[in-house]
Amino acid sequence: MARQDKRQRLKELRRVMKLVERQGASHQPTPVEMAALVALVDTRLSTGRAAGRSGRAMALLGRMQDKSNDNAPGMDKIACKAGCYYCCDVYVSAQAPRIFAIADWLRETKPDLGAEIARLETADAAIRGKDVDARASAGLACPFLDKGKCGIYPVRPASCRGFFSLSAEACIAGARGDTEEIPTPAHIHPLRGAYEQALSAVLYHWRLPSEHYELTHGVLTALKDENAEARWYDGEDVFANVGIDRADDAMNPEMKQLESEFWHALWAVAHGEPADGPFADRFPDWCL
């Protein structure tokens, strides 16, 4: 009976996976949609050649996040457009698979990788150790900007992929330091959070770090070592010297425990097991 129940749960999950892969998660993602994301990412990381596994998984995750944004309400009112880069001087961090995907993309697209590494080294020397405010005050633009456009746009991090402004004027004022209030569509935080939580759930169950590393230094580290991705998946801390986003440090132990239990529930549903723990009631009946 247990085996039959698992087959039925996986059958129902595949329906959700097909829907999410086709149109992205909804703008208010449900836990079962997030479990579908977990299953899709885990499959991409687990199958095929080990080399480039991050690129394959993050390409899928990025496409789905873009579809989610495209289908969300209010996106017809966003002020963002090509050539607008008022927010591209802020601190950006990313999880390791996203960093490896960026490094692979640069290797494939930059004819002179040595020159790219040297340019990033110069940028890294200028920004390393500077917090959010110091970086903004210094006016240090993202080193991946290329003539006013994102030079890594197809593989940009989730934080960049998931931020939109409803007012160009507010962004200009923010770039001047006149305001920190940028009006944004209501969906961007839960949607971005869903995609990042799904990736975190996979990394947690692979016993890999889910930290967010400072982007420039992280990409530079990955570019300098062609074996960095393989070593990281083997458990080596290749980003030991890279700054970590400390936003999660504010979480108390109870919140951190709840987060890990949520990841556990997502992983269970993604693999046909019944949802359990404090989040079980947030899943459909067929997940139980």
- Given a contact cutoff of 8 angstroms between Cβ atoms, the answer to whether 45 and 97 are in contact is yes
pLDDT at 250: 65
| Alpha-carbon gap, residue 131 to 128, rounded angstroms | 9
pLDDT at 225: 93
pLDDT at 174: 76
Q: What is the pTM of this model?
A: 0.92
Strand pairing report for 212-214 and 93-95: antiparallel
CA dihedral 210, 212, 213, 215 (to 10 degrees): 130
Q: What is the pLDDT along the chain (288 residues), one digit of tens a residue?
A: 588 999 999 999 999 999 999 999 999 999 999 999 999 999 999 987 878 899 999 999 999 999 999 998 888 888 888 878 888 877 889 999 999 999 999 999 999 999 999 999 999 998 888 777 777 777 778 889 888 888 999 999 998 988 888 888 888 887 777 767 888 888 888 999 999 999 999 999 999 999 999 999 999 999 999 999 999 999 999 999 999 887 766 667 888 899 999 999 999 999 999 999 999 999 999 998
pLDDT at 249: 65
For residue range 47-57, list pLDDT tens digits in order: 878 788 999 99
Q: Return the residue matching tokens 């991705």.
A: 229
Which tokens hold the place of 191? 């949607």
Tell me the one-letter amino acid at 63: R
Which tokens hold the place of 75? 């996106």
Long-range contacts from 56-59, C-beta under 8 angstroms, 24+ separation: 57/97, 57/101, 58/97, 58/98, 58/101, 58/155, 59/101, 59/154, 59/155
| Alpha-carbon gap, residue 94 to 97, rounded angstroms | 8
pLDDT at 213: 94
- Given a contact cutoff of 8 angstroms between Cβ atoms, the answer to whether 210 and 232 are in contact is no
- Given a contact cutoff of 8 angstroms between Cβ atoms, the answer to whether 158 and 94 are in contact is yes
- Closest to 152 measured CA to CA, from 162, 160, 140, 163: 160
Half-sphere exposure (Cβ direction) of 284: Cα atoms closer than 13 Å: 15
Q: SS3 of 144, please?
A: coil
Q: 225: left (phi > 0), else alpha (psi -120 to 50), else beta?
A: beta
- Given a contact cutoff of 8 angstroms between Cβ atoms, the answer to whether 185 and 196 are in contact is no
pLDDT at 248: 63
DSSP 274: P
| Alpha-carbon gap, residue 177 to 25, rounded angstroms | 35
Domain range annotation of the chain: 2-287
Q: Which secondary structure element, helix H or strand E, spans residue 250, and what is its range?
A: none
Tell me the one-letter amino acid at 110: K
